[in-house]
Every structure is written in C-alpha cells, then in structure tokens.
Amino acid sequence: DMYGMHWLLDVDNVYGYGTGNTSGNDCGDSSARVEYINTYQRGPQESVWETVAHPSCASTNHSYSGRPQFNYPCLFVAGSTNGQWRYTDAPDADARAVQAAYWALTWATAQGAQSQISGTMAKAAKMGDFLRYSFYDKYFKNPGCGSPSCAAGSGKSSSSYMLTWYYAWGG
C-alpha cells in the first residue's frame, strides 16, 4: 500500500467527476463522492499542453462529456477497455505536511503532550517514508540518463535526493 496525498480533487464538480455526479462516478462501489482526478498519463512527451483531466478510477461506467461509451482510456485506446485506477502524489505537499507534523511534535513536547499526537506522528512518519519515492525518476533510471534505452538503476544509484514534481502508481 502506498501512503501519500493525492494531488487533485474535483470538489466542486468542475470537471464533471465530483460530488453530485452519480452517473459516472462509481468506481465500482456505487458511491457519489468527491473524486480524485489526474492530469497525467500523457505519454512519452509529458507535455503539460497535452493533458486531459480524468478520474483516478476509470471504471467502464465512467463517462466523458456525458457519454458513457467515451471514457478517458477510449481517447487513446480503440475498442473496449478494462477499468483501471491511478493516483498521483504531490511530494511538495507531503513534505509540508511532514514539516507541520514536526512542528506539532516540537510544540507538543514542550507542553508534555506528545501522547496526544502520537497517532498523527505515526502517519507523518509513514508519509515521510513513502516521500522517498519522489527522489527517483518514474522509471528509476539514473540521473542524467536522457535515453529511453538506459537501464534502470539499482539501489540508490537512481536517486536524485531531490523532491520531484510528482510520483504516481496505478493498476
């Protein structure tokens, strides 16, 4: 299991995947809720100008522009598609949350109240562990590799030790 904050929610239903949208928002569980959305999965160019906002959970019931047969994968794949899910993390936001937890611990310690935030601290520590994924290229290639044919690094050789813009996972 991954542990990180998803980077974008359609809370006002601006993209048509948010609250109040019961027809195209079920992700297989028939619930109407705020939807995680992505603007990634753009292909090899990774151009911000080629993004398409789409729900993180793309069941075959999702619709695009109100047409159920036209969901996000159908923009790029001919024929029927299986449902899929993908999440994108914003490491800078995760790092700020971990930093806020650090300061909360500092202040709680000064007041003798560490036990009151121990659960939150455990979550912040777990998030910090997963934040390390942002140190790596999305294909775990060594820094400086500009070719798609470069082999993946091993161990920490592919770490840049700097927060990247995002990391993502799916299935």
Read off the DSSP letter of residue 56. S
Kindly state the tokens that stand for 110: 């000064």
Calculate the CA 135 to chain-centre distance: 15
Q: For the whole prediction, is pTM greater than 0.85?
A: no
Nearest CA-CA partner of 58 in 43, 46, 68: 68
Integer Cα distance of 37 and 58 in angstroms: 10
Read off the DSSP letter of residue 104. H
Per-residue pLDDT tens for 64-102? Answer: 445 454 455 666 666 656 667 778 888 999 999 999 999
Per-residue pLDDT tens for 129-152? Answer: 999 999 998 788 999 888 888 989
8 Å CB contact between 58 and 73: yes
